[in-house]
Structure 1
Amino acid sequence: MLKKILSISGKPGLYKLVSQGKNMLIVESLLTGKRIPAYAHDKVISVGDIAIFTEGGEAPLPDVMNKIKEKENGGVASVSTKAEDKVLRNYFAEILPDFDRERVYTTDIKKLLGWYNLLVEKGLTDFVEEKAEENLSAEKAE
């Protein structure tokens, strides 16, 4: 599900991929509902392809969002994106205890929580793909 949710550098919020043109993508803002073109020169990245630095490597963003969803019982984050740095970092440490405290900035945590809250408000909470969950369950059973 997060593969079709996009972040566009320099534009606020998240966008849903609607269609593809010859040299552009047609995206719809999750904030306003407006459709706009995203051209080849725009830095567009799928939210499903983003990862958070950890001490042992990287944690995929869908997994991190799923952990927030479990902590918040499917609701919006209990901490505000306007909270103090220390509060945000402590909250994030509860979600991802081994996050790299030097390479993950408070602004990254604010953006992640803002994206999470936006997705929850829009009812887009299937952060981890079904097939991926089935594969993990099969591996654990073996």
Structure 2
Amino acid sequence: MNLEKILAISGKPGLYSLKVQTRTGFVAESFIDGKRITVGLRSNVSLLSEVSMYTTTEEKPLVDVMRSIAKKENNGPTPAFKDDKVQLAAYFLEILPDYDQDRVYTSDIKKVINWYNILQAKGLVSSEEPTKVEAKEEKSEKTVPATESKVIKAPKTVATKNAGMASAKKSPAQKATKSTKK
């Protein structure tokens, strides 16, 4: 199960797949309806591969929680819960027996179950542990070779208009380098 390019966007329902990165943000495609949206850099976005659940001993990665749900449900969907906090908590205790009940709220449990059902419907969940070859491939995909990295230089001046007149101001990068030279 690879959650590398799967996103949760704050204020938007469901999950999204990262399609293209742009200068001003990125384009994501919804798993629910297949529509593409543009997301700015100021949006609150979470990569599912970086999400983890609180337990009493340590934080457990979301991929492990999803794998536990898949094992319990034989790679099928979870039962539908109707806002019953007791049933949700009991179900989640079966999935993750040592989850921190003080820091993991019912809304978090609902969100994880909803995300699991979305990914399961798309065939993206698996109860199997990744093999050593798959784990190495995932790690090699994360590293970027030095030839592919880009260096972005800050602009030298920033032009602004003030009462119809154009004036040049120094960028924050120039001010920082000038103050360090003194």
TM-score tier, shorter chain, comes to: 0.7 to 0.9
Deviation at 1:53, TM superposition (A): 0.4
2:123 is the counterpart of 1:123: yes
> What is the alpha-carbon distance in structure 2 between the residues aligned to residue 39 and residue 123 of structure 1?
28
> What is the alpha-carbon distance in structure 2 between the residues aligned to residue 132 and residue 52 of structure 1?
26
Query: Which portions of structure 1, spanning 4 or more consecutive aligned residues, are displaced by more than 3 angstroms?
Result: 126-135
> What is the alpha-carbon distance in structure 1 between the residues aligned to residue 132 and residue 38 of structure 2?
31
In structure 2, the gaps of 5 or more residues are 137-182
In structure 1, the gaps of 5 or more residues are 136-142
Helix, strand or coil: the match of 2:54? strand
TM-score (norm 2): 0.69
Match for 1:58: what amino acid? Answer: E
Helix, strand or coil: the match of 1:16? strand
> What is the alpha-carbon distance in structure 1 between the residues aligned to residue 44 and residue 130 of structure 2?
24
What are the within-5 Å matches in structure 2 for residues 3-18 of structure 1?
3-18=4-19
Aligned partner of 2:71 in structure 1 is 70
Aligned partner of 1:138 in structure 2 is none
Cα RMSD after superposing both structures? 1.9
Alignment coverage as a number of residue pairs: 134
Match for 1:28: what amino acid? Answer: E
Match for 1:96: what amino acid? Answer: L
Instruction: Show CA shifts across 1:96-128 (max 9, x none).
Output: 000000100001000100000010001111586
Match for 1:118: what amino acid? Answer: I
Deviation at 1:132, TM superposition (A): 8.3
Larger RCO, structure (CA 8 Å, separation 6 or more): 1
Equivalent pair of 2:75/2:126 in contact (CA under 8 Å):
no
Instruction: Show CA shifts across 1:8-38 (max 9, x none).
Output: 0111000000111111111000011000111
Deviation at 1:66, TM superposition (A): 0.3
